[in-house]
Amino acid sequence: MARFFKPQKRKLTDTKHKEMTIRRLDHLGAGIGHLGKKPVFVDGALPDETVVVQLTEDKKQYARAKVIKRLNDSPARTQPQCPIYEQCGGCNLQHLSHAGQVAAKQQALGELMGKFAASAQGQSFEQAPPIAADAWHYRRRARFSLRAEGGPLQFGFRRKQSKAIVDVSHCPVLVGSLNALLPPLWELLAGLKGKKHLGHVELVEADNGRVVMIRHLQPFNESDRAALLSFAEQYGVILYLAPTADSLERVAGEAPYYALDGQKLYFTPRDFIQVNASVNARMVQQALDWLEVGPQDRVLDLFCGLGNFSLPLAKVAQAVVGVEGVDEMVHRATDNATQAQLTNTEFYQANLEQDVTTQPWAQTPFSKILLDPARAGAAGVMAHVVKLAPERVVYVSCNPATLARDSQVLLQQGYQLARLGMLDMFPHTGHLESMALFIQSEQGRKK
């Protein structure tokens, strides 16, 4: 008998207003309450607040809702400093005191990792004091969207959950030197004849000047190019032009760098660098301390980038091998090590989704390994980390969910989660940087 497809009726979300009390924040900063036993995630709501909400999404295991009305305010609620906070998509936690943010992130990280570690290793771990610095004017880089379509040039950040642009002339989380550049830069770009061909502008505070990278979809004419060069000279700007997604031309100023542990790390505005210089320096030092690196250690730095960890490690280790998937970054790290006169470093390009233990550089054992992957984590390399059998592993993560997932490989192979720390790299946002130390157990060493 023939069977015909019968579409299922789409479940309609119940939009009736409902009252609930927020119990805690998740690791992205959303408030969590419950309807029956189902968790409901509510942006903008804080623990101990009773709120009237409307569901925006209703799944089998969870729901999402928006606040219609707050019936009381948390003692930790504070007035946002940014006048466009409610519109801008950059920050989502300015309504919570900085101390409250740090405490909530510390709690969320501990609870998330605790679920996995306790079941795997049957014991607790030390939760280190969080690393935090100034909550305002900490970002040393930012990307501004640009649009000129039959009207004034828009210059700013994307709106929350939208591609529309909110104009920005001052940002309270951006470092002061870049904030000072925003009004004249906006005026310059708005006056260009080719402004409709502008894509975005990237700003970075280097230790030897302010970097401006302009993405443009058509070549600048002579007068626009002259105006850009005049601006760079007037404001002492290191100016880059990016006519395509793959090309980059430095047209004014010296190559930018940032200093770390007495060494200069050169970069381009397309390279990844940590946005919070103060927290980055303390993070690197904590990683060295947790690894207990000494002159007898051979250390492997996976996802090494420019050498942010590799160069400081090389000052105290016998040897450091840095591995990165992007060949251009490998060259940059090599040049940075040469510039720092470090002779005990080697850098290699490798696909970290494949078995790195077969590489020539992996034939000599490593006593310590450090990983600092992107948000997607390091699932492809974890089994190979175990095969290399280091005494200690430090995993630096910008996504606690992938850290928890990847840690399972280590825990199941006899490593103990010994220490966990929250790094307040991104105040006023839900982003959470963390560091975990895994130590090979006695049982693991006997395998």
Condensed to tens digits (0 to 9), the pLDDT of residues 284-326 reads 999 999 999 999 999 999 999 999 999 999 999 999 999 999 9
Distance between CA 432 and CA 424 in Å, rounded? 7
Q: Which H helix or E strand runs over 70? A: strand 63-70
Asked whether residue 32 is domain-assigned, the answer is yes
Same domain, 246 and 358: no
CA 177 – CA 195 distance, rounded (Å): 24
Q: How far apart are CA 193 and CA 372, in angstroms?
A: 43
Specify whether 317 is located in the same domain as 373: yes
User: Which of 206, 230, 258 is at the close of a domain?
Assistant: 258
Q: What is the CATH number of the domain that holds 54?
A: 2.40.50.140
pLDDT per residue as tens digits for the range 318-365: 999 999 999 999 999 999 999 999 999 999 999 998 898 999 999 999
Does the annotation flag 304 for ligand binding? no
Whether residue 148 sits in one domain with residue 105 = no
Instruction: Give the least confident one: 7-16, 84-93, 374-383, 412-421.
Output: 7-16
Residue 324 annotated in ligand binding: yes
- CB-based contact 310:347 (threshold 8 Å): yes
Strands 298-302 and 319-324: parallel
189: Cβ–Cβ under 8 A, 6 or more apart, which residues? 146, 153, 155, 195, 198, 201, 214
Asked if 302 and 225 sit in the same domain, the reply is no
Using the predicted structure, report yes or no on whether residue 445 has a pLDDT greater than 60.
Answer: no
**How high does pLDDT run on average in the chain?**
93
**Is residue 303 annotated as involved in ligand binding?**
yes
**Over 80: is that where the pLDDT of 4 sits?**
no
pLDDT category of residue 14 using cuts at 50, 70 and 90: confident
Same domain, 251 and 307: no
- At position 157, the amino acid (one-letter code) is F
Q: Is the pLDDT of residue 367 over 90?
A: yes
Rounded Cα–Cα distance for residues 439 and 296 (Å) = 18
Together in a domain, 305 and 441: yes
Q: In whole angstroms, what is the distance from residue 323 CA to residue 327 CA?
A: 10
Residue 95 and residue 74 in contact, taking contact as beta carbons nearer than 8 Å: no
Per-residue model confidence as pLDDT tens digits over 106-159: 998 998 898 877 655 566 789 999 999 999 999 999 999 999 987 899 999 999
Residue 386 falls within a domain, yes or no? yes
Q: 258, 285, 308 — which closes off a domain?
A: 258
304 is catalytic: no
pLDDT of residue 442: 63
Does residue 11 have a pLDDT over 70? no
CATH number at residue 168: 2.40.50.1070
Q: What is the pLDDT of residues 385-431, one digit of tens each?
A: 999 999 999 999 999 999 999 999 999 999 999 999 999 999 999 99
To the question of whether residue 261 is assigned a binding role by annotation, the answer is: no
| Residue 73, both tokens | 């305010």
* Token pair of 250 as six digits: 């430095």
160: confidence class by pLDDT, cuts 50, 70, 90: confident
- Asked if 237 contacts 212 with a C-beta cutoff of 8 angstroms, the reply is yes
Q: Residues 238, 277, 288, 398: which is the catalytic one? A: 398
Higher pLDDT: 58 or 117? It is 58
Q: Closest by alpha carbon to 198, among 150, 243, 239?
A: 243
Both structure tokens of 253: 């100023």
Query: Phi and psi of 15, rounded to 5°?
Result: -100, 10
Instruction: Confirm whether residue 276 is marked as ligand binding.
Output: no
Distance of alpha carbon 418 from alpha carbon 124, whole angstroms: 8
Parallel/antiparallel/unpaired status of strands 50-58 and 18-21: antiparallel
Extract the runs of DSSP E, i.e. beta strands, from 350-414: 368-371, 392-397
Tell me: is residue 351 an annotated ligand-binding position. yes
**Residue 260 in contact with residue 280, Cβ under 8 Å?**
yes
Asked whether residue 368 falls in the same domain as residue 415, the answer is yes
pLDDT for residue 114: 86
- Burial (Cβ within 10 Å: 0-12, 13-18, ≥19) of residue 114: middle
| 183 contacts 155 by C-beta, under 8 angstroms | no
Q: How many domains does the chain have?
A: 3
b/e for 406-442, b at 16 or more Cβ within 10 A? bbebbbebbbbbbbbbbbbbbbbbbbbbbbbbbbbbe
346 is in an annotated binding site: no
Q: Indicate the helix (H) or strand (E) that contains 141.
A: strand 141-147
Does the pLDDT at position 8 exceed 70?
no
Residue 402, number of CB atoms within 10 A of its CB: 18
Region of poorest pLDDT, from 72-76, 215-219, 221-225, 442-446: 442-446
Q: Structure tokens of 345?
A: 């470093």
Instruction: Let me know whether 325 and 238 are in one domain.
Output: no
Contact 269, 291 (CB under 8 A): no
Mind spelling out the 3-state secondary structure of 183-208?
HHHHHHHHCCCCHHHEEEEEEEEECC
Confirm whether 220 is domain-assigned.
Answer: yes
Task: State the pLDDT at residue 443.
Answer: 55
Q: Is 88 annotated as a binding residue?
A: yes
pLDDT for residue 2: 53
Let me know whether 219 and 294 are in one domain: no
Q: Determine whether the annotation assigns residue 82 to a binding site.
A: yes
Residues 129 and 146 grouped into a single domain:
no
What does the alpha-carbon distance between residue 97 and residue 86 come to, in Å, rounded to a whole number?
16
**Same structural domain for residues 331 and 434?**
yes
The CATH number linked to 415 is 3.40.50.150
Instruction: Read off the tokens for 300.
Output: 């492997």
When pLDDT is averaged across residues 178-187 and rounded to a whole number, the result is 98
* Model confidence at 441: pLDDT above 70: yes
Would you call 36 helix, strand, or coil by DSSP?
A: coil
Q: Are residues 288 and 198 in the same domain?
A: no
Domain that holds residue 362: 99-134+276-446
- R_g of the chain, CA atoms, integer Å: 24
Residue 232 tokens read as: 């760079």
DSSP three-state, residue 310: helix
Residue where the block lists tokens 């509510």: 42
